[in-house]
Each structure stands twice: as C-alpha cells, then as structure tokens.
Amino acid sequence: MMIKAVYWDIGGVLVRTGNRQPRQELAARFGLSYQELEELVFGSDLGRKAQRGEIPEPERWAHLVDELGIPLEEVPAVRQAFFGGDFLDEDLVAYIRRLHERYQTGVISNAMGGVRRFIEVECGLADAFDHMTFSAEVGVMKPDARIFHHALAGLGVQPAEAAFVDDFLHNVEAACTVGMHAVHFRTPAQAMADLDLVLTG
C-alpha cells in the first residue's frame, strides 16, 4: 500500500535535550545520577501513572516533595530546571511541514497531560499535525499496540499506509509488529534520510 500518513514521537525526537547541564546539576543536587533522575520522573510508578492519565501532571510533580524532600514552593523551579536544557528542533519541524503538504501527519507520544498545550500553544504546532495521540489522553502507553491502533484510527489509515518515527527501539519494533513502517531516530539527518527511503519505496 502507498503510505498516506507519517507519525512522530515528541520527546527524544521533536523535542530533545540539547544541554544536559541543567538536568545533571539538578540530579547532583539530590545525590542522583542523570539516569536515576529521569527514571524517577518518567519511569517510576507515579511517572507512568501520569503518562497514562491516571493522575494529573501537577500531582505527579507535587510528589517530588516526598520523593526529593523539597518544600512544595520549590517544585516549579525543580520542574523548570529538569526541562531547562530541552529544545524544539526547528529544522525537523520545517521538514514535517514539508511532508504535511503531501501526507497526513500525526503524533504518537508517551506524555503527561500538559504536553498537548505545550505542542499546540507554546510550540505553535497546532497546524503541523492532523491528529495527535498522547498516552495521558488515551490511557495507554507505547509500546502497547492499542495506542498505535488509536492513532491509526484517528487518521483513518491502515497500518501499512503509515510510517512512524521514534527514538526508542522497542517502540519502533512495536509499530512494525502492528504492521506500520517505522524509523529508529538516532539523529535528525539519519532519521529524515531513512524516512525518505521509506516514503519513496
């Protein structure tokens, strides 16, 4: 089948950590490694609950009071420092906008509840995607096949008519198992080149 839609992950692909220093300094402040801090925020039970929409995003961050032993009033500053080195890849955005002239475009992202506003309002990308599937809104996370089927239904395409770009190999493999074409993101140039090959057959 001809590919009709291209789906993108957000964190680690469209939005990446360009400067690790703010997160490294934050981790060191609490006696954690960089990886341990990321695991605490995203991979812990509370982090995964927030990404499945079982608790609201503010509640997840409020639990840092107990997890890190900080006063409640410090939570916003800690959250800001955690994401302080992240950036939106404008070149990749431009590439997606060019694709959008010929293909439907979508998002499949494991993310807490506030990410839709971040993408649509703060990043100004509401017009870049035809449909966005966020785990917190549908109650299921990649690599669960159900999130891919939800996204496919959102654009009305079959798995073989869709391509997907993600930085985690297990998510890429899950998309392939569903029947989608998939590209493992390692660098922007590599991902765009690999996707171009997929799209041109």
Mean pLDDT within 128-157: 98
**Percentage, residues of the chain above pLDDT 70:** 100
pLDDT at 201: 81
Tens digit of each residue's pLDDT (9 = 90 or more) over 66-99: 999 999 999 999 999 999 999 999 999 999 999 9
pLDDT at 109: 98
Q: Is 125 helix (H, G, I), strand (E, B) or coil?
A: coil
pTM of the predicted model over 0.85: yes
pLDDT at 144: 98
Q: Which residues contact 74 (CB under 8 A, 6 or more apart)?
A: none
Can the peptide bond before residue 143 be classed as cis, meaning omega within 30 degrees of 0? Answer: yes
Q: How many CB atoms lie within 10 A of CB 198?
A: 15
Q: Is 9 helix (H, G, I), strand (E, B) or coil?
A: coil
